[in-house]
Structure 1
Amino acid sequence: MAISVLLLVVGAAVAFDSDCKWKSNVTDIEDIAHHKYQVLEECLFYKLTNDADKMQGKSNALMLMPPTVAAGETLDVQVLHATVREMWMNEVFKEMNINGFINVAWKDRRLRWDPSEWKTDSLKIKSLGRLWVPDINSDKYQTVSQSVDYVTFHDLKSNNNGNVTARLEFRMHAQCDIDYTEYPNVGL
């Protein structure tokens, strides 16, 4: 009994392909099952993570450090599309709330790979905490209660050239002394 359990454990360890060598058997990404594609994406992400750690000489570099590698290099974040989903005002308390999203893009050379080797030209980043993202927040003082404000990223994707896209969802709460009583008919 103990020998068969040991053989089963050793067999499972041998069957586990930590380097994703099975990817060389894939001729067309459309032919593999969805769960195998997800495994392929995970292998690719961990390869890119290890490469970034070596390139920048720091553990978790892909997550912790911005994609600028050279001294004096700048990072450009493009706004591709912005939408305000909801805007409402409370005239009594003189406050305004804005909800919406912004599609943004930036270049991260650490997320480059050979599509002929990996059989895919795109990679979904499954968790926000696994990749550096721009720090975008409101300009409120940090001491002000911001319990209603939030900024979060969704749909993080990269292509094989290192172009990253994401959807930033936000909610901003503002208070000001403007009299909203006649809004939107102010001055008519």
Structure 2
Amino acid sequence: MLALCCCWIILGIVVGKVAASIPMIAANADECDSLKNSSKGFLEMTTHQRERLENCVFTFLTDEEMKFNRDPNSFHTDPPPEAKLTIQVDDVAIRHVQLTSGSTYQFQIYGDIYLTWEDTRLKWDSSEWKVENFYIHDSHKIWSPHLIDHSICTDPSTCSSELTDVEIVSEGRAYARLAFRYSAYCNVDYSRFPEDQNHCCIYFTAFEADRDVAFALETDHSKKVNRPVAAQNLYDRVRGLSTLADEHSAWVVDEHTVDITHLAGISSLEVLKVCVHAEKKMSTIRMALKIPVTIATLIMLVSPLFGDLRTQVYIKLFILALQTICFIYLCSIAPPNGFAGMRPKLYTYYELIFVMSAISLLMTLVCVALSRVKRTIAPTHRFYLAAKLVNRVVCCIEPDQATSYQRYLEDADNQRTSNEPDATMEWRHVYLAVNNTVSGAFFSMYLIIILIYFF
């Protein structure tokens, strides 16, 4: 008996609520008809009336969907009835780029993707309802594409996306903005060290069961930008607003690209690839690494203009010390983890400089050593004249007879006969000419290397 009484009480409550909701539904329907048949245009209505009319349109669309599908949640859970869904990418905007915490080259990208898709369930007669388009404040009320990023980030505080500004149009089209914040896959090119280049990409896919999803790109493939990469987070809960200061890194984003590709091995699954290209702007360090060592090497290669062989040896040893100091500084600013198997052009440039300097120094030392040897047989006359021509006309120098590099190899001068011929000075002309010719050849080669490397 008690159970029967409880059942009657519950039934009375349910019937009462249903009876109370019927007048409310009827009142809403009357209000929608009144707004739809009003003589005022949509822009002439008050803000409250426009909001009510938009709700009426959405209620009408929901009721139309319920006629074909009894599931009340199908309007926002099921995709459009079309067999192939095309998601149109109208624009991609990069708002902010910053370094990932603890990394010197991994980027975190903040941006917006503006999307458009067709949904025949969203069609209505704009002349009847006086509304051509309106925003849906809750994006979960209708179906929207779920763009998934394939990054390895699992921290929701640093990696997230949100679909906002959803607008539907009477032709059955929807517009939305996807605001994302993800860590990108980065590939650094160290060939132009210290001005490295970084290429970072984010990959988005939109997968729906029993549907073929395709992307249509309606924006420029690439856009030029000039945006410095921040070196810290936009906001830190511990430090508060003090972290909003503009603390940028050496990286500068100069271009961002958008492309449609496919995952490896899955030709039917399209991927929206959003990439940024950044470069380290370190012109001061670049000039500090190039200009001093270049000028020093040029001075070393024109050392024949400074004087005899001994002076040239001192100059080349001093220049070699300067080159070594520059190379040590270059190594001190290299990445601690190396260059990922790459050889920067600047290192190749230094290797060529050291090879040319070593050969030039060894050549001068050999010529100095040969000049100590007493020669009794003179070189051929043409050879001697050619050597004097190189020394006097080209290098404006000739061996000084008063210069003695060392004693002759003979231990005692009294062992030589007074009438013994001495051709040492003629051979010094030859040795000096050979040294000057090698220096001139290296100087010409180095000028070509400079033109290729700098330009």
For this structure pair, what is the TM-score category when the shorter chain's length is used for normalisation? 0.7 to 0.9
Give me the whole-angstrom Cα distance separating, in 1, the residues matched to 2:67 and 2:57. 16
Amino acid at match of 2:38: V
**AA in 2 matched with 1:171:** R
Distance 1:91 1:15, change over 3 A: closer
2:137 to 112, 126, 137: 126
Q: Work out whether residues 151 and 183 of structure 2, in 8 Å CA contact, stay in contact via their aligned partners in 1.
A: no
Name 2:285's counterpart in structure 1.
Answer: none
**Offset, 1:53:** 2.5
Give the aligned residue type for 1:53.
M
Q: Give ranges in structure 2 of 5+ residues lacking alignment.
A: 1-19, 197-250, 252-278, 282-343, 346-455
From 137, 141, 163, the equivalent of 1:153 is 163
CA contact (8 A) 1:86 1:100 kept: yes
Residue by residue, what CA displacement relative to the aligned partner does 1:74-115 show, whole Å, maximum 9, x if unpaired? 110000010001112248425310001011100010000011
- Return 89-98 or 107-116, whichever deviates more: 89-98
**In the alignment, is the contact (CA less than 8 A) between 1:91 and 1:179 conserved in 2?**
no
Instruction: Give the letter for the 2:78 counterpart.
Output: M
Partner of 2:116: 105
C-alpha distance 124-14 of structure 1, shift in aligned 2 (>3 A): closer
Q: Is 2:36 aligned against 1:24?
A: yes
Alpha-carbon offset, residue 14 of structure 1: 9.0
Equivalent pair of 1:63/1:132 in contact (CA under 8 Å):
yes
Rounded Cα–Cα distance in structure 1 between residues aligned with 2:123 and 2:52: 18
State how 1:24-103 maps to structure 2 within 5 Å: 24-27=36-39, 28-67=41-80, 69=81, 73-90=83-100, 92-93=102-103, 94-103=105-114
Q: Is the 8 A contact 1:53 1:60 kept in 2?
A: no
Query: 1:30 corresponds to which letter in structure 2?
Result: L
What is the identity, as a one-letter code, of the residue corresponding to 1:25? N
Select the structure of larger CA radius of gyration.
2
Q: CA deviation at 1:51?
A: 1.2
**What is the rounded CA distance, in whole Å, between the counterparts of 2:25 and 2:138 in structure 1?**
29
Report the CA distance between 1:17 and its aligned residue.
Answer: 2.6
Partner residue of 1:170 out of 180, 205, 226: 180
Q: Secondary structure at the match of 1:78?
A: strand
Q: Which residue of 2 aligns with 1:6?
A: none
Q: Secondary structure at the match of 2:55?
A: helix
Q: Decide whether aligned partners of structure 1 residues 14 and 160 sit closer, same or farther in structure 2, where only a CA change above 3 A counts.
A: closer
Deviation at 1:123, TM superposition (A): 2.2
Q: In 2 relative to 1, CA 156–88 (structure 1 residues): closer, same or farther, beyond 3 Å?
A: same
Inter-partner Cα distance in structure 2 for 1:179 and 1:59: 54
Higher relative contact order (CA closer than 8 Å, sequence separation 6+): 1
Cα distance, 1:100–1:60 mapped onto 2, change above 3 Å: same
Give the letter aligned to residue 121 of structure 1: E
Q: Give, in whole Å, the separation in 1 of the partners of 2:43 and 2:184.
A: 48
Q: From 125, 136, 149, give the equivalent of 2:147.
A: 136
1:66 and 1:15 map into 2 onto residues whose CA distance is 31
| 1:135–1:47 distance in 2 versus 1, CA, 3 Å | same
2:94 aligned partner, one-letter code? V
Query: RMSD value over aligned CA atoms?
Result: 2.9
Name the amino acid aligned to 1:163.
R
Return the alpha-carbon distance in structure 1 between the equivalents of residues 135 and 177 of structure 2: 13
